[in-house]
Amino acid sequence: MLSEIAFERRTCPFCGDMERTLIINLSTEDIISANWSYRPKERLSTFGVPANHEIVRCAKCDMVYAGHLPSEKFLSFVYDELIDVDAARRESFSPHNISNRMGDLASLLRLLGPGGKVLDYGCGFGPTLALLRNIGGVETVGFETSAARVQELNAWHPLITSDFDRIQALGPFNAVILDNVLEHVPEPHQTILSIGKLCSEGAFLYVSVPDMNRRYLAAQAALNRAGKLLAMDINPWEHLNYFDLAHLDGLMARAGFVPLRQAELPSEVRVGLRSESNMFPRIKNTLASMLREVRYVMTGEALPTANSRFYRFNGHATV
C-alpha cells in the first residue's frame, strides 16, 4: 500500500530548483488537530502516511512550498473522505464567507461592464456561482475536478464540468475566478497557462490565495518550534504552494496576466485602517495608514494582498 500512495519529493513549483531549506515540520497529528473539517480518521493508518511533513523555502527564488507531493489516491481520500463534506459546504455558504465574496465580485462585475462570460475555475460547492446566477447579462460556467461536486452542482446549474475540453469549447471567457485554488495545485504555472488559453484578449482574472508573507510564515514557524498548533492554512496535504504577493505576481506575469493597481479598480481604496478600542493602537494604525495613502498617491497602490488580486490578460505568455 505504501508504494501506491508514496509522497514524492518536489522541485520548486516557481523556478524548478531542488535546493531548499526547512521552515516548518509537521507531524500527521499536527495537521489533523489543526483542521476542524476532518472527520474521524480510522482509515488514515492504511495509507502508510509519513510521520513528518515538510514545508520548505526554495534556496534560489525564495518560494515556499510543501516539500513532498501527495499522490492522487491520497488526495482523493483527503477531499472525498477525510473532509466532512457537509461541514465544509455549510462553511462555504456561511454569511461570513458569502459577504467576503460579495465585495470582490462587485469589483469584478464593474470591471466586466454590462455583461460577459465568467468562468469559476475550481468552483467547489458553488457559492460564487450562486451569487452570480441571477445577474442579468452574465453567463456563468464552472470547472471542478471533483465528480461528486459536479453531480451535486448540475442539479441546479447545467454548465458545471470537470472536462477541460468542454470548458475550452464554451470559451473564450471575459473573466475567470480563481478563488482559493492555486495553493492546491501541484503545478501552478501550468494551471495559469491553461487558464490563459480560456481567456479573451483583455479578460479579467480574480485570484485569491492565502497571503503567506514572510512575517506570517515566521510567526507560524515560531509556533511550530514551540510545539503549538498552527493555523489551518498551513497544511502540506492540501496547500501545496504558499504564495506571497511577489511570487503570485511573478507567476501571473509569465502567463500573460498583468496586475491591476488599486487606482484601476472600481472599488474603495483600502489603506488598512482598523477599528481599535485603545488610543495608542489607533494612533499607530492611523500613521501607518497615512503612509499607505501617500503610497497610493505616488504609485496607485495602497494595500495590495494575495488574498484579493485582480489581473488583466494581455495574451503574451513568457516562459
Model confidence pLDDT, tens digit, residues 213-224: 999 999 999 999
- Is 293 in the same domain as 309? no
* Residue 42 pLDDT grade (very low, low, confident, very high; cuts 50, 70, 90): low
pLDDT of res. 205: 97
pLDDT of res. 5: 57
- Is 56 in the same domain as 130? no
Using the predicted structure, report yes or no on whether residue 250 has a pLDDT greater than 60.
yes
CA dihedral 66→68→74→80, nearest 10 degrees, is 10
Residue 292 maps to a domain: yes
pLDDT in tens, 94-143: 999 999 899 899 999 999 988 899 999 999 999 999 999 888 899 999 99
* Residue 81 pLDDT grade (very low, low, confident, very high; cuts 50, 70, 90): confident
Task: Write down the mean pLDDT value for the chain.
Answer: 90
Write the CATH number for 134: 3.40.50.150
Using the predicted structure, report yes or no on whether residue 43 has a pLDDT greater than 70.
no
- Helices and strands: H and E segment counts in the chain: 11, 13
- Is 116 in the same domain as 174? yes
- Is 172 in the same domain as 255? yes
Joined grid coordinates for residue 164: 477541460
- Is 122 in the same domain as 97? yes
Question: Which residues form the domain of 282?
Answer: 262-300
The alpha carbon of residue 62 and the mean position of all alpha carbons in its chain are separated, in whole angstroms, by 19
Residue 3 maps to a domain: no
- Is 106 in the same domain as 205? yes
- Is 79 in the same domain as 204? no
Residue pair 12/63 in contact (Cβ under 8 Å)? The answer is: yes
pLDDT of res. 294: 85
* Residue 39 pLDDT grade (very low, low, confident, very high; cuts 50, 70, 90): confident
pLDDT (average), residues 38-62: 82
Q: Identify the CA nearest to 150 among candidates 174, 129, 177.
A: 129
| 3-state SS, residue 295 | helix
- Is 57 in the same domain as 157? no
- Is 160 in the same domain as 107? yes
pLDDT (average), residues 201-205: 95
- Is 107 in the same domain as 191? yes
- Is 125 in the same domain as 271? no
- Is 171 in the same domain as 120? yes
Residue 318 maps to a domain: no
Joined grid coordinates for residue 188: 501552478
